Amino acid sequence: MPVRRGFPRARLAESTARLLGNKLALVGLVISAVVVGLILLAPILAPYRPDAIDYRALLQAPSAAHPLGADDLGRDVLTRTLYGGRLSLAVSLTSVLLAVAVGVPLGLLAGYVGGATDEILMRLVDSLMALPSLVLALTITAVLGPGLVNAMFAIAVVGLPAITRLVRGQVLTIKHNDYVLAARSVGVRPAVLVMRHIMPNVLGPVLVQAALGIGFAIITESSVSFLGLGAQPPTATWGSMVQVGFQYLETAPWIALAPAAMIFVAVLGFNLLGEGLRGSLDPTSRSAT
Amino acid sequence: MSQASRADRPTVAVHGLAKHYLRREGWIGGRVARIRAVEDVSFSVGHGETLGLVGESGCGKSTVGKTILRLLEPNSGRIEMLGTDITHLRESALRPLRRHMQMIFQDPYSSLSPRLTARRIVAEPLTTHGLASGRAKWERVEALMQRVGLRADQIDDLPHQFSGGQRQRIAIARALAAEPRLIVADEPVSALDVSLQAQVINLLTDLQDEYGLAYLFIAHDLSVVQHISHRVAVMYFGRIVELAATSEVFAHPLHPYTQALLEAVPVPDPARRGMRRIPLQGDPPSPLAPPSGCPFHTRCPHVMERCRTTPPIMAQDAPGHWSACHLHHPP
Amino acid sequence: MEGADLAPDPEVLEVRGLRTELRLHNRVVPVVNDLSFSLRASETLGIVGESGCGKSMTALSIMRLVPDPPGRIAGGSVRFCGTELLDLSDRQMRKLRGSSISMVFQEPMTSLNPVRTIGSQIVEAIVTHRDPGRRAAQEQATEMLRLVRIPDARARLDDYPHHLSGGMRQRVMIAMALCCEPRVLLADEPTTALDVTIQAQIMGVIAELRERLGTAIVLITHDLGVIAESCDRVLVMYGGHGVEEATASALFAAPLHPYTRGLLDSVPRLSAGAASASIGEPRRRLREIKGTVPALDELPPGCPYAPRCPLASAQCHAAMPPLIAKRPRHLAACWHSDRVAELSP
């Protein structure tokens, strides 16, 4: 009877222990968790409905009734910030997932096969990187038409080159390790080899890049929406809320400040988490001398 | 020299193997240099036999090992595995034969996939060649792990949880899984502590006696090679310079390089201190600037005029004892 | 050296009860544990042991180059020509390093700065401790390269490290280490990364320089052949402890510690007369030491070798034996030294 020590749990426990030991990651994790938690609990926490208009509370400063004030249509800023976060986060997470889902296979292909395939793919990726990311995102959104879904695609495209290049670079290094040669000598088919031996060793850095990418995606989405090409009214994300609040910055600054602060906190949290993950996800680091 | 082989044919036979690398010199449109990593190498290994392949760094011994397994593509020559010419076989035709020719690598820290458990590493050859499945497969994996001296409760650990010696055992278990006929062992004990080397060497000899494996044992440590090999081939600068039964090579080395190599090994016996002759001078030549004639002539204490101009050929100077040296067989 | 039999050479290095530890994951791991030995002028002491035995850390401790964190010299004494090194300030220690005590490391590839010429690096070593002026320093550098038998020394000064082979680079390292004629040279596996023919050359160079300069050498290695060829006395380390110390001849002829015995037995010996095994005949097996080298953070109480030792008794598992003289000038840390001879093949 084979002895199984519940190995996936043991390893997860090991990684988690290391993660929790890393102060930076811990702080990042807490902040991100709080942000995500708040957003998920929006229906419970929010005192109002997000589109509830109250003519008596136009541009009202923070008060007992509206803890973060009210906007130009009397809607509760706290509520809208919480609900807006849902969209911001959903868009960011989805675009990062998309970038990973496409970038990882492309990077694996380019790195392992090499040759002409690599050249062609890399030149395509390079051309994407030639434009500043915000400009590229705006251009794509403008071409596809304004809207949150299109913005999401645009952000995914903008984040794609970084993932692809990262994976390709990792593959180029890993490819020359003896264990890849060993797999070839066993007779493992290339596709299986890449999936079984190369990809798992690439995922660590990809995870880090993804965590950092969430922060980047939030900012990009906010910028795109701020410039009017992302979320279209009445859809509200943090970015579009800042856009609206921008006009009232002197008279009712809370309208812009609340979502802006959330952007800051969320990006901070995910960035810290990403930085912290960098150190703690590597199972090959040895603990004793 | 006679081979007590079970089959008439040797397990692996190599004829005139050559492997070159091209290196571009200069930045743009520079000359392309051809580095002859392996040149005109021929040998065979029979059932249950160990051929030791010795030489110093850069002599091409590792390249030979990888090339005969077609992990590198030969530039010329012929490789016959179990009677089949595999030199130019397409990968799809080669793949089923691969189970018969396995490799053990030098570095136990990079030869095991870091995110696969020992169980999956050892099972991979079985899975790849469809040799077992389900419960039978796991039982075979456990049996292999036990045979190489690993505990059953470690079977689901990751490589970094094992010590260097244990990782090498996992590598051996993996090599054995598909019941190969030939194992190319590329410096399998060089990276291990001295007290572990004995364990792994004993394991390898036991396995050979048990299964009749043919080993190509690549190493730079002459004492280990002497202990484990039936025959020895000495390489220098990409070529085999001497090939004979182990006792012959160590008792009556014919090639000056072999002699220098044996002289240079420090003996763990203080009573023999100071009895060595002057060590071999100079450095091995650079592959980018190969010497004319015999590649060893730049350092050879017996160099003659002919050595600078004509490359020596490999010839039998005594029964079963081959060398490539003008000293021993003038034309 | 004549007259050496009449009076022992003065001790240039005396280590007593050295303890160095590493702080890892909130644990404190002793990597050098109560180590004592001494070194006389012109003597070569070999320190032999396997990975993790603490031999490299010993050298780093003497040089006070232990990375801190996570390492720390926790106690003991290291006296160099009478001066207590562990009491010196950083600046005072820096004055000694490279001029009075030098070190050569295993990897000549990474010990030399790749973007500076060989000449400039040797000159820097000279100028840091002496003050001869540029031309004189260059002359000395050339002379050092000649001493280590680098052909065409003058021209080599302008080469960069990557122009030289591994053996050449190691000679340059030795030249740099010896350019100020130190009293003590610590050589940490100086030839392990080199081919055996190059190793023979390098050991020859070191022997010549020792003759000429009278330097005392601590040679750290795992290679018993190198020990036998080059060392006067030998210290065997295991699990951070010194377990045996003797002259080279006494150690190889009649070791008094089971680990030394095990090491000597498990190394295959080159012999000119051995007959080849025939194919199919079982071969002579090497004598193994069972088990593996312990991780320093998992040492059992008592003697660190006890788990693997064929002579281990209850006493061995309970208490660490002290390193004491069992015979004149032959120390061993074992409760059962008298029975080690039984283990011979």
| Domain regions of chain A by residue span | 39-280
What is the mean predicted confidence (pLDDT) over A23-40? 88
More confident residue, A45 or B222: B222
Are C121 and C100 contained in the same domain? yes
Q: What are the tokens at A91?
A: 């868009």
What is the mean predicted confidence (pLDDT) over C164-169? 85
DSSP E strands: which ranges in B46-137? 50-54, 76-81, 84-85, 101-104
Are C98 and C221 contained in the same domain? yes
Q: What is the pLDDT of residues B232-273, one digit of tens each?
A: 999 999 999 999 999 999 999 999 999 999 988 888 888 877
B251 touches chain C (CB under 8 A): yes
A289 touches chain C (CB under 8 A): yes
Rounded to 5 degrees, what angle do the CA atoms A182, A185, A191 make?
A: 85
Q: What is the pLDDT of residues B73-85, one digit of tens each?
A: 999 999 999 999 9
Chains with at least 3 CB pairs less than 8 angstroms from chain C:
A, B
Are C55 and C123 contained in the same domain? yes
Are C97 and C195 contained in the same domain? yes
Are C169 and C73 contained in the same domain? yes
Q: Do B160 and A177 touch (CB under 8 A)?
A: no
Query: A288 contacts in B (CB within 8 Å)?
Result: none
Cβ-based burial of A270 (10 A; exposed 0-12, middle 13-18, buried ≥19) = buried
Task: Closest CB to A287: pick one of C24, C31, C52.
Answer: C24
Using an 8 Å Cβ cutoff, are A147 and A232 in contact? yes
pLDDT tier at A282, thresholds 50, 70, 90:
low
Whether residue C278 is contained in a domain is answered as no
Task: Closest CB to B113: pick one of A5, A197, A286.
Answer: A197
Question: What is the SS3 assignment for B17?
Answer: strand
Q: Do B273 and C197 touch (CB under 8 A)?
A: no
Predicted pLDDT of residue A7: 45
Predicted pLDDT of residue A284: 46
Are C199 and C296 contained in the same domain? no
B61 touches chain A (CB under 8 A): no
For residue C259, the chain B residue with the least C-alpha distance is B195
For residue C263, the enclosing domain spans 243-267+285-338
- If you compute the radius of gyration of chain B from its CA atoms, what whole number of angstroms results? 21
Are C194 and C321 contained in the same domain? no
Mean pLDDT of chain C: 88
Are C121 and C209 contained in the same domain? yes
Residue type, B180: P
C-alpha span between B257 and B300 (Å, rounded): 7
Q: What is the pLDDT of residues C260-280, one digit of tens each?
A: 999 998 888 887 776 767 777
pLDDT tier at A287, thresholds 50, 70, 90:
very low
In angstroms, what separates the C-alpha of B61 from chain A's closest C-alpha?
Answer: 16
Comparing C-alpha atoms, which of C98, C65, C100 is closest to residue C79? C100
Secondary structure letter of residue B155 according to DSSP: T
C-alpha span between C10 and C42 (Å, rounded): 10
Q: Do A288 and C296 touch (CB under 8 A)?
A: yes
Predicted pLDDT of residue A6: 37
pLDDT tier at B142, thresholds 50, 70, 90:
very high
Are C172 and C320 contained in the same domain? no
Are C179 and C32 contained in the same domain? yes
Are C262 and C214 contained in the same domain? no
Predicted pLDDT of residue B99: 93
B178 touches chain A (CB under 8 A): yes
Are C213 and C329 contained in the same domain? no
A287 touches chain C (CB under 8 A): yes
C-alpha span between A159 and A137 (Å, rounded): 10
Using an 8 Å Cβ cutoff, are B37 and B63 in contact? yes
Enter the pTM of the model: 0.85
In angstroms, what separates the C-alpha of A196 from chain B's closest C-alpha?
Answer: 8
Test the A interface: residue of C25, C31, C292 with most A CBs within 10 Å = C25
Q: Kindly list the strands in the beta sheet with B182-186, ordered across the sheet, starting from the edge strand earlier in the chain.
A: B101-104, B182-186, B214-219, B50-54, B231-236, B239-245, B321-323, B315-318
> What ipTM was predicted for this assembly?
0.86
Q: What is the pLDDT of residues A117-158, one digit of tens each?
A: 999 999 999 999 998 988 999 889 889 988 888 989 999 999
Contacts of C120 by beta carbon, 8 Å cutoff, 6+ apart: none
For chain B, domains (ranges, CATH) are 12-323 (3.40.50.300)
**At the top level of CATH, which class does the domain A39-280 belong to?**
mainly alpha
Helices (H), B117-163: 118-128, 134-147
Whether residue C196 is contained in a domain is answered as yes
Q: What is the pLDDT of residues B162-203, one digit of tens each?
A: 988 899 999 999 999 999 999 999 999 988 888 889 999 999
pLDDT tier at C4, thresholds 50, 70, 90:
very low
Q: What are the tokens at B22?
A: 């091209």
Predicted pLDDT of residue B1: 37
Q: What is the pLDDT of residues B26-56, one digit of tens each?
A: 666 667 788 899 999 999 999 999 999 999 8
B100 touches chain A (CB under 8 A): no
C-alpha span between C182 and C166 (Å, rounded): 24
Q: How many domains are contained in chain C?
A: 2
Q: Taking the CB of residue C273, how many other CB atoms lie within 10 A of it?
A: 7
The CATH code of the domain that includes C65 is 3.40.50.300
C-alpha span between B288 and B21 (Å, rounded): 11
